[in-house]
Structure 1
Amino acid sequence: MRPTCERRAARGFTLVEMITALVITGILAAAAAVFLRVPIAGYFDLERRAALTDAADLALRRLGRDLRRALPNSLRVAGACTGTSPCYVEYLELRSGGRYLAEPSGGATLCPAADPYTDTLQIGIADTCLRTLGATPDLAAVVAGDFLVVYNLGPGNAGADAWASGGATGGNKSRIVSVAAGAGPNPEDRIDFESLAFPLASPQSRFHIISGPVTYACDPAAGTLTRVSGYAIQAAQPAPPSGGTSAPLATGVTACSFTYDPSMAAQRAGVVSVRMELTRSDPAGTPERVSLFSQFHVSNVP
C-alpha cells in the first residue's frame, strides 16, 4: 500500500476574534491610562514649576553678583517699591581698585615729578596722577573715561559723594586720562586723571575705579526685570534711566521690591533685600506663582 499525505489547511483569526482582541486591548489601555495620567501630568507640572523657580533664582543670583561689585556707599533706591509698582536700584560699578602712594605730611610733590616714583597723590591740592602701592587688579580693563574715586561716603556727604558731580570731574572723583602698568617684581602702576583737588584722604589710602552706573529696573506692569548700563552718571537718580543698554533678565514678573539698609555703619556694610514674584499659566490657563526673597551684603568700606 502506498503511503498517503494529509494536507491540513492553515487557519487564521476570524473577524470576531480580531474584534474581541481589539476590545480587550482597548480596555487594558484605558485602565492603564487612568493610572498613568496623574503621574505624567505631575511630571510636567513639576518641570514647569522648576523652570519658573530657576528663572527667578538666576535673576536674583545675577543681581547679587553685580551688587557685590558696587562702589562702597553708592547704592540708592528709587520708585514707590510697593511690590506692584516700578522699583529701581542703582549703583556705580567697580572696574578695579587698590592703594595709592600718599605724600607725607608737609610734602608737595605734584605730577609729573622729576623722579617718577614720587608721583604721590596730593589731597587738597590739584593733582593729575598717582602711583599705586603694588599692581592694580585688572588694570588692562581700565580705559580712558573711567573715573578714579577716593573715599566715597555716599549721598549727603560733601566732598565724598561720587554721584554729586554727575558725569564730570568733581568732588571726590576724576575722569581717568590714561593708565600705565609698572614693571619689576613690585610694580607701581601710574594713573593719570583730570586735574582735581581731592578734598578728603582715605584713611587706608584706598582708591576705586568705576566704569559707570548700573540700574536694575523692575516693572510689574510690563512683567520685566531689566539691567540697564552704559548711561551717564547723574546726581539725581533717574527712574527709569534713559539711554544706555538694556538687558532683560526675567519676564513674567508680577511683583517685586528693593530695599537698602545702610545702617550697618559700624561694620562698614549694607544690606539689600529683594522680593520678587514670577507668574506663568499652566496649559489650562491657571496662573502659577513662585515668590523668592533674598538679602545681599555689600561692602561699604571707602
Structure 2
Amino acid sequence: MHFSISTDQRGFTLVEAIIVIVITGILAVVAASFISRPIEQYRDLSRRAELTESANSAIRRMSRDLHLALPNSVRQADTTCVEFLITKDGGRYRAAEPGNVMQFDSTSGTKFDVIGPLNSAPQVGDFIVVYNLGIPGADAYQASYRGIVGADSTNATINLSTAIQNPIESPAKRFFVLPGASPAVSFVCQGVGSDNGNGTGRLYRVSNYAIVPALGTCPVLPEDTTQPLLAEHLSSCSFNYSSGVTERSAVLSISLGLLRSGESVNLYQDVNISNVP
C-alpha cells in the first residue's frame, strides 16, 4: 500500500493578513467620512428646523393676541418690549331711544343696551371702553376712561358699577370689553445675546398685573418667573411699532434671531393692528 503526502500549504501569510487589515482600515475611514457628513448635515438641519419652529410658534402666538388689542392701546418703552390692552368681546351700543341709551354727558351713565347680543355676558369687574384714542382725555390706560361692569349684566344689557368719565362718542357706536382680571399684556425680551454659539435671551408673555397709566420701562423678570415662556436661545429680539390713523391699520414689526449650537435662524414678521376705535 502506498501513501502520498501533499506538501501544498493553504491560508494567509502574516504579510497578507497585515495588508488586508490595512486596506480594510482605509476603506472604513473612507466610508465613515462619507457617512458622517450626511449625519452631521441631518443634525444641523434638525437644529435649524427646531429653531424655526420655535420662532414661528412665538410669532403666531403674539400675532393672535395682537389681533385682539384694543385700538390705539399698543405702546412701547423701548424696542425690547411691547404692551397693549387685550379685548375679549365688543359690539355696538344703543345710541337712541327707546331702550337704555349710552350717555355722553359728564359720565356714560350706568346702563346701556347692546345692538346685537354679545357672544357672552360680561363678567363682574370686566372693563368697558368706548372710543379709545390713546391721548389725554381718551386714554383707556387711565382708570377714569374705563367703565366697570356690575352685577346683573347680560349679553344684551350691560350695567356699570363705575361709569366712564367724560366719554367721547364713537362714530361707529362701538364699545369693547376688556377682561377685568388681566387686561394688560406685554411681550418682553430679556437677556438677549450669545455665548459659545448659543443665544442667551428669552421671550415672555407677561400678564396678570395692574394697568399702569404712565408708560414706564420694560419689566425685568426674575429667573424663576412663572410667566409663560414663548421662546429661548434668542441672540436678537426687537419690536418696532408704527402707529396708524383711523383710516388704516398700525403695524408692529417683530424680529427674532435664535442661535443654538452654532446654528442660527432669523425671522421677521409685520403684524397689522386695527386702530379703528
Same fold (TM over 0.5): yes
Q: Is residue 199 from structure 1 mapped to residue 167 from structure 2 by the alignment?
A: yes
Asked if structure 1 preserves the Cα contact closer than 8 Å seen for 2:246 and 2:276, the reply is: no
- Please show how residues 1-302 of structure 1 align to structure 2 within 5 Å: 26-79=25-78, 81=79, 87-103=80-96, 118-126=99-107, 127-137=109-119, 139-140=120-121, 142-154=122-134, 156-158=135-137, 160-165=138-143, 170-171=144-145, 173-178=146-151, 180-181=153-154, 189-196=156-163, 197-211=165-179, 212-219=183-190, 220=192, 223-241=201-219, 246-262=227-243, 264-265=244-245, 267-281=247-261, 287-302=262-277
The DSSP-based 3-state class of the residue aligned with 1:71 is coil
1:211-242, CA deviations, whole angstroms, 9 ceiling, x for partnerless residues?
21000011216611100011111101243348
Write the letter of the residue equivalent to 2:270.
Q
Write the letter of the residue equivalent to 1:58.
S
1:36, 1:245 → 2: CA distance? 44
1:278, 1:199 → 2: CA distance? 45
Asked if structure 2 preserves the Cα contact closer than 8 Å seen for 1:122 and 1:198, the reply is: no
Shift in Å, 1:267: 2.5
The alignment's C-alpha RMSD in Å is 2.7
1:191-227, CA deviations, whole angstroms, 9 ceiling, x for partnerless residues?
1112424421111110001121000011216611100
C-alpha change, 1:76 and 1:124, in structure 2 (3 Å) is: same
Shift in Å, 1:50: 1.3
Shift in Å, 1:245: 5.8
C-alpha change, 1:32 and 1:296, in structure 2 (3 Å) is: same
2:169, 2:150 → 1: CA distance? 21
Asked if structure 2 preserves the Cα contact closer than 8 Å seen for 1:103 and 1:122, the reply is: no
Write the letter of the residue equivalent to 2:266.
S
The DSSP-based 3-state class of the residue aligned with 2:76 is strand
The percent of aligned pairs where both chains have the same amino acid is: 39
Shift in Å, 1:33: 1.3
2:258, 2:210 → 1: CA distance? 31
The DSSP-based 3-state class of the residue aligned with 1:39 is helix
Write the letter of the residue equivalent to 1:49.
R
1:75-102, CA deviations, whole angstroms, 9 ceiling, x for partnerless residues?
00112x3xxxxx2100000010000111
- Structure 2 unmatched runs, 5+: 1-10, 194-199
Shift in Å, 1:125: 4.7
Asked if structure 1 preserves the Cα contact closer than 8 Å seen for 2:188 and 2:203, the reply is: yes
Asked if structure 2 preserves the Cα contact closer than 8 Å seen for 1:56 and 1:278, the reply is: yes
Asked if structure 2 preserves the Cα contact closer than 8 Å seen for 1:124 and 1:200, the reply is: no
C-alpha change, 1:63 and 1:15, in structure 2 (3 Å) is: farther
1:145, 1:261 → 2: CA distance? 32
Shift in Å, 1:21: 7.3
C-alpha change, 1:22 and 1:269, in structure 2 (3 Å) is: same
1:105-139, CA deviations, whole angstroms, 9 ceiling, x for partnerless residues?
xxxxxxxxxxxx712211115411111001112x2
Count matched residues. 252
Q: TM-score, normalising length from structure 1?
A: 0.75
Shift in Å, 1:103: 2.9
